[in-house]
Amino acid sequence: MSDASYTTQVESPEASFGDYFALLKPRVMSLVVFTAMVGVLVAPTALHPFESFAAVLFIAVGAGASGALNMWYDADIDRVMKRTAKRPVPAGKVTAREALAIGLFLSVLSVVMLGLTANWLAAGLLAFTIFFYAVVYTMWLKRSTPQNIVIGGAAGAFPPMIGWVVATGSISIEAALMFGLIFMWTPPHFWALALFMKSDYHQAKVPMLTVTHGRKETRRHIWWYTVALAPVAIWTALSSVGGPMTLVVFTVLNVIFLKGAWDIWRRDEATSEADEYAVEKKVFKFSILYLFANFGVLLAEAALKLVGLGGW
Amino acid sequence: MAFHKDHELHERRSGRNFGLLAVLIGLVGIVFGLTVVKVTNGEFAEAFDHVSRPAITMEDTQ
């Protein structure tokens, strides 16, 4: 087949490099890069900076691979939801088969390279994370249970734990606490989003808590999960990766988050619709800041330890 | 010999081809960098390479 005959078959606009990159969910990757990097840097054993850089990069590539697999499988519901309709597959820029091929290739590449760069426990955890996000969450839980976000949140919680294992070669209580921090944070974060993106999940028939149990129940769940998040955060601040500064900042952040969750719980739909979900949107935005600030403080605490300050 | 004009397909795809080139060069750079770091740190593992070396034979290490 000549080039000329090939071009006549191209109907959709040509996918750019950026479209393929978008398959990897760059915004999710930025969170993965940051939390994995913190996991590496707060660990008690120092790794060569280049090995740390490469390890975090391969963790991010693994996360991107699971994003591509998610876009391959979820193209049908992404097409329906306003928030996701412009993703490369539903927009028709990249075919689902390409997304699958890229996802599988990058999954294998990232796991093997992380194993060679760091250790095979870290690589195994990365492989499990990809499996958990692509198979357990995307293929199974997302379409079958309102607890999809709760259990699926584990996939997003693994990066700092993998980062810690990259540096130390083993799982410890600190790694589990950093995992717990993201795991407990995910439900209130996503449910706040679901409250103001209400028609999306309904149309796509995704059994979000708002769809299956109603919006009042979702508000109650946001409050109780935020309550459960607080002790995990405080325990993390009291562990060996924390210190006085971490404890103060974590306490302030959790008080603000709890206040926001309380405000969401006490509101009814009429009030929310009147101000176009101002509080829900504010809490959702704050929840992103909350996570970046939490891990940023852990990093700052580790930096202070280097100069003889910080830590317990 | 006259230079021929690039086919339209190559022009259209030049962006993603150069993007892929950059990714591959980056990967090679990372593998090379990791090799240098691991060898420098003494993490290089000796293995059997068809030459008798007392350093890696069982009876000599026990």
User: pLDDT tens, A295-309?
Assistant: 999 999 999 999 989
Grouping H, G, I as helix, E, B as strand and the rest as coil, residue A9 is: helix
Q: Look at residue A166 in the predicted model and tell me its pLDDT.
A: 97
User: Two tokens at B43?
Assistant: 């993490």
Count of A–B CB contacts within 8 Å?
33
Q: Look at residue B57 in the predicted model and tell me its pLDDT.
A: 64
User: Two tokens at A215?
Assistant: 């919006």
Q: Look at residue B13 in the predicted model and tell me its pLDDT.
A: 83
Count of beta carbons in the 10 Å neighbourhood of residue B39: 10
Q: Look at residue B48 in the predicted model and tell me its pLDDT.
A: 62
Enclosing H/E stretch for A92:
none
Query: Residue A54 above 70 pLDDT?
Result: yes
Query: Residue B2 above 80 pLDDT?
Result: no
Contact B20 A50 (CB under 8 A): no
Q: Residue A242: what residue type?
A: G
- A18 to chain B: closest CA residue: B16
Share of chain A above pLDDT 70, in %: 96
Q: Look at residue B58 in the predicted model and tell me its pLDDT.
A: 60
Chain B interface, best mutation among A9, A51, A94, A105, by max B CB count within 10 A? A51
Q: pLDDT grade, residue B49 (50/70/90)?
A: low
CA atoms within 13 A on the CB side of A101: 6
Q: pLDDT grade, residue A5 (50/70/90)?
A: very low
Nearest one of A254, A239, A256 to A160, comparing CA atoms: A239
Distance of CA A241 to the CA centre of its chain: 21
A266 and A6 Cβ atoms separated by less than 8 Å: no
Is residue B21 within 8 angstroms of chain A, CB to CB?
no
In angstroms, the CA A30 to CA A133 distance is 17
In angstroms, the CA B52 to CA A307 distance is 50
Is residue A112 within 8 angstroms of chain B, CB to CB?
no
Cα angle B14, A67, A81; round to 5:
100
Q: With b meaning 16 or more CB within 10 Å and e meaning fewer, what string describes B3-38?
A: eeeeeeeeebbeebeebeeeeeeeeeebeeebeebb
The whole-chain average pLDDT of chain A stands at 91
Tens digit of pLDDT for each residue in A13-24? 678 999 999 999
In angstroms, the CA B39 to CA B52 distance is 22
- For the question of an ipTM over 0.85, the answer is no
Cα angle A44, A38, B42; round to 5:
50
Distance of CA A225 to the CA centre of its chain: 17
In angstroms, the CA A187 to CA A226 distance is 9
Chain B interface, best mutation among A48, A56, A110, by max B CB count within 10 A? A48
Query: How many angstroms separate the CA of residue B30 from the nearest CA in chain A?
Result: 7
Is residue A6 within 8 angstroms of chain B, CB to CB?
yes
Q: Look at residue B1 in the predicted model and tell me its pLDDT.
A: 59
Q: Look at residue A83 in the predicted model and tell me its pLDDT.
A: 85
Name the pTM for this structure.
0.87
Cα–Cα separations (whole angstroms), residue A19 to A22, A26, A89, A312: 5, 11, 9, 47
Cα–Cα separations (whole angstroms), residue A44 to A40, A256, A282: 9, 31, 36
Is residue A117 within 8 angstroms of chain B, CB to CB?
yes
Query: Residue A209 above 90 pLDDT?
Result: no
Q: pLDDT grade, residue A196 (50/70/90)?
A: confident
